[in-house]
């Protein structure tokens, strides 16, 4: 059974003359423990698709199954979400931010504190729990976001361009860090990005989407061995994979 199964999903935004088609006939199967990256031109509906996977938005047609059960509303125990820019609450410390989902469920104070501290240490932020978001760098904020997404131990982690606001160097480091975290937690990850290099570097499989209405126009298996290293970016295989994705995006109407 796949961790995520999207079956003939379509979405139409309400509007004049029957609305605007945003997503068309999308079928995806993601095996448990895989790292899948979705790339596509701006406005192709990648983020909409991710919002639907998270249960934050409803599709017009088609079904989404997560671990065999349909997703109809947000379920943080099955799906964790990491957003584009830091969506951390500025009035809470890093530790309180990570605890937030547990606090919503009314988990006992000691348990959630311990759990949140474990997560912060997993993302490499030991000792930063007492800091407020404005006291952290961009990369550190996204580490806290990842910790928050993982704190309920969901089997699936959805990431919507989590490193888009970071500078190039931080972005590379964070990609590498994410792979380290992923390899210790073995989550199923669906990751959205604009960056082709990031896509190839991170993914087991890259899904390429067309411009609106968004369709899946190519699936590319990334055969590079794991663990990935920065040196692999200079290899022919890496370049060919990157080139193939680029060609697909370029020819997409």
Partner 1 sequence: MRWPKPSTVRWGLLVALLVFWEVMPSTKIIPELFLPSLSKTLTVLWIDRVEYAEALVVTLYEVGVAMVIACGAGILTGAVVGGIATLRNIMLPVFSSLYAVPIVILYPIFTAWFGIGSESKIAFAGIYGFFPVMLSTAAGIRTIDPQYLLAARSMGATLVQQITRVIIPASIPTVLTGLRLGGALTIIGVVVSEMLTASAGIGYLVSRYRTILDSPHVFAAILMILVLSIMFDLLARTVERHTLVWQTAGRRERGAPTAQASTLPAPAPV
Give the shortest CB-172-to-partner 1 separation in angstroms. 11
Give the shortest CB-80-to-partner 1 separation in angstroms. 8
Instruction: Give the residue with the Cβ less far from partner 1, 26 or 86.
Output: 86
Instruction: Indicate whether 75 belongs to the interface with partner 1 (CB under 8 A).
Output: yes
Give the shortest CB-43-to-partner 1 separation in angstroms. 19
Instruction: Give the residue with the Cβ less far from partner 1, 87 or 185.
Output: 87
Give the shortest CB-90-to-partner 1 separation in angstroms. 6
Instruction: Give the residue with the Cβ less far from partner 1, 62 or 124.
Output: 124
**CA pair distance 161, 38, nearest whole angstrom:** 10
Question: Any idea which residue has 């017009």 for tokens?
Answer: 60
Among 43, 70, 74, 227, binds partner 1 (CB under 8 A): 74
Residues of span 130-159 touching partner 1 by CB under 8 A: 131-132, 134-135, 137-140, 143, 148
Among 8, 58, 69, 105, binds partner 1 (CB under 8 A): 105
Instruction: Give the residue with the Cβ less far from partner 1, 2 or 132.
Output: 132
Among 15, 127, 225, 253, binds partner 1 (CB under 8 A): 127
Candidates 248, 145, 236; CA nearest to 196 is 248
**CA pair distance 63, 26, nearest whole angstrom:** 10
Instruction: Give the residue with the Cβ less far from partner 1, 18 or 108.
Output: 108
Q: Which stretch binds partner 1 (CB under 8 A): 95-103, 189-197, 223-231, 241-249?
A: 95-103
Instruction: Indicate whether 69 belongs to the interface with partner 1 (CB under 8 A).
Output: no
- Concatenating the DSSP letter of every residue in the chain gives --SEEEEEEEEEE--GGG-EEEEEEEEEEE-TT-EEEEE--TTSSHHHHHHHHTTSS--SEEEEEETTEE--S--TTTEEEE-SS----TTS-HHHHHHHHHHHTT--HHHHHHHHHHHHHHTT-TT-TT--GGGS-HHHHHHHHHHHHHTT--SEEEEESTTTTS-HHHHHHHHHHHHHHHHHH--EEEEEES-HHHHHHH-SEEEEEPSSSB-EEEEEE----SS--GGGGGSHHHHHHHHHHHHHHHH--
Total residues contacting partner 1 by CB under 8 A comes to 40
Query: What angle in degrees, to the nearest 10, is found between the helix axes of 138-150 and 94-104?
Result: 20
Instruction: Indicate whether 18 belongs to the interface with partner 1 (CB under 8 A).
Output: no
Query: Applying CB under 8 A, which residues contact partner 1?
Result: 54-56, 74-76, 81, 83-85, 87, 89-93, 100-101, 103-105, 124-128, 131-132, 134-135, 137-140, 143, 148, 170, 173-174, 177
């Amino acid at each position: 059974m796949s961790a995520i199964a999207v079956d003939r999903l379509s979405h139409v935004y309400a509007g004049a003359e029957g609305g605007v088609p945003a997503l068309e006939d999308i079928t995806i199967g993601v095996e448990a423990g895989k790292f899948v990256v979705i790339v596509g031109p701006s406005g192709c509906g990648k983020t909409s698709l991710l919002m639907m996977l998270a249960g934050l938005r409803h599709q017009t047609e088609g079904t989404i199954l997560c671990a065999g059960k349909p997703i109809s509303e947000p379920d943080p125990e099955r799906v964790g979400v990491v957003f584009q820019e830091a969506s951390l609450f500025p009035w809470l410390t890093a530790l309180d931010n990570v605890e937030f989902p547990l606090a919503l469920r009314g988990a006992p104070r000691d348990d959630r504190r311990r759990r949140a501290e474990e997560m912060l240490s997993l993302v490499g932020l030991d000792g930063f729990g007492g800091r407020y978001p404005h006291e952290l760098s961009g990369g550190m904020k996204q580490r806290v976001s990842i910790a928050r997404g993982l704190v309920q131990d969901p089997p699936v982690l959805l990431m919507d361009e989590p490193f888009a606001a970071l500078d190039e160097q931080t972005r590379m480091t964070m990609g590498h860090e994410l792979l380290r975290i992923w390899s210790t937690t073995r989550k199923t990850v669906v990751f959205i990005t604009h960056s082709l290099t990031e896509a190839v570097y991170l993914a087991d499989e890259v899904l390429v989407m067309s411009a609106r209405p968004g369709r899946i126009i190519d699936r590319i298996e990334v055969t590079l061995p794991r663990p990935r290293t920065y040196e692999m970016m200079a290899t022919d295989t890496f370049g060919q994979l990157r080139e193939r994705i680029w060609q697909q995006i370029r020819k997409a109407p």
